[in-house]
Amino acid sequence: MSESIQMPTHVAIIMDGNGRWAQKRGLPRTAGHKAGAETLRKMVEFAAQSGIEFLTCYAFSTENWKRPKTEVSFLMTLLSTYLEKEAKDLAKNGIRLKVLGDTQGLSSKLQKQIQKAEEITAKGTRLQLNLAINYGGQQEILAACQKFAVEVEQGLSKPNEITIEKFESLLTTQNIPNPDLLIRPGGDYRISNFLLWQLAYTELWFSPILWPDFSEKEFELALENFKNRERRFGGVVQ
């Protein structure tokens, strides 16, 4: 069965290319991350204006800890600053913030800021912004399996009771619809351990534009491309 496509309900973005953007300009990689944060701010507002209900952005992966300590430290500070400065504006603009990922692996300060930002923006209904921080798709699936194993061990569930719906309730994205469209700027063609379960039938759109240069025009191109696609979900056109 095919589905008539209008505006996607949920768009996911892999924000890639910050470091290369800076290097091309003879700037430190940290300058690229700072510019990328400004782009995020613009794209969040554009998504809200476009009628998108959920926007999920890959901010920091579980693999990003492998980067130089100075860069990781800057990214943590940037995330902290973003949460501190943006929470009230997000709430004012009707945008709810939710953080996906292993927050226990973050500093206690950042954990408190996340909790506070989520509380401040909890009443937002215009758009839900999901920031994936210390997130990995494989790790998320493994954690869900471990949760179900504990339920079985405690006699709360039986092995044969596992279903797609049950499994999805154990993921960090529970109560969030799977993405309709994944956008990856930066020129690479991979999903980099991002939302591995959730992207099963997501439409993919890749752009050579580095994230700091990604504009409303590029976002609109992705949306227009999505509207011209035919989503069959494994079926055939009737």
Q: Is residue 96 within a helix (H) or strand (E), and if so which, with residue range?
A: strand 95-100
Domain architecture of the chain: domains with CATH:
10-135+181-227 (3.40.1180.10)
Q: What is the pLDDT of residue 230?
A: 75
Q: How distant, in Å, are the alpha carbons of 145, 169, 197 from that of 157?
A: 13, 14, 22
Q: How distant, in Å, are the alpha carbons of 98, 148, 200 from that of 143?
A: 19, 9, 19
Q: Which active-site residues does the annotation give?
A: 16, 64
pLDDT tens figures, 76-110: 999 999 999 999 999 999 999 999 999 999 999 99
Predicted structure pTM score = 0.93
Residues of the chain with pLDDT under 50: 1-4
Torsion of CA 84, 183, 39, 103, to 10 degrees: 20
Residue 180 and residue 8 in contact, taking contact as beta carbons nearer than 8 Å: yes
